[in-house]
Amino acid sequence: MINAFGLSLFQVKSLAEDKKASTDSMKQRFNLAMKEKSQYEQIYHKAKDDLERKDLKIAKLERKMVETECAMTELETAASHLHSLAKQSTQALETTAAAYQ
């Protein structure tokens, strides 16, 4: 039996089967691509979250460094004042000792 396009029933069935096989193959490839996309999105989000955590940790450490540097400056200033006071005390003791001799 031949249809209006000059194709036999066998040829039409064969073309339909080829079309179905091609469609099924495309569906499988699409589903695989969607699965891979989902996996890569998960990897991306995990990496993004890790980066955000590390950025926060770095910012916290930078703040601590600034605080430490300020504390060191204050300690150095206090040490300088103590040294000056010790020097003044020594001079006062020497002056007082000299006055009693």
Q: Is 44 a domain residue? A: yes
At 15-39, the pLDDT tens digits run 889 999 999 999 999 999 999 999 9
- From CA 10, how far away is CA 20, in angstroms rounded? 15
Q: Is 20 a domain residue? A: no
CB atoms within 10 A of CB 11: 13
Q: Is 8 a domain residue? A: no
At 48-75, the pLDDT tens digits run 999 999 999 999 999 999 999 999 999 9
Q: Is 3 a domain residue? A: no
Q: Is 58 a domain residue? A: yes
Amino acid code (one letter) for 23 = T
Q: Is 11 a domain residue? A: no
Q: Is 43 a domain residue? A: yes
What DSSP character marks residue 8?
Answer: B
Q: Is 77 a domain residue? A: yes
Domain ranges, residue 37: 26-89
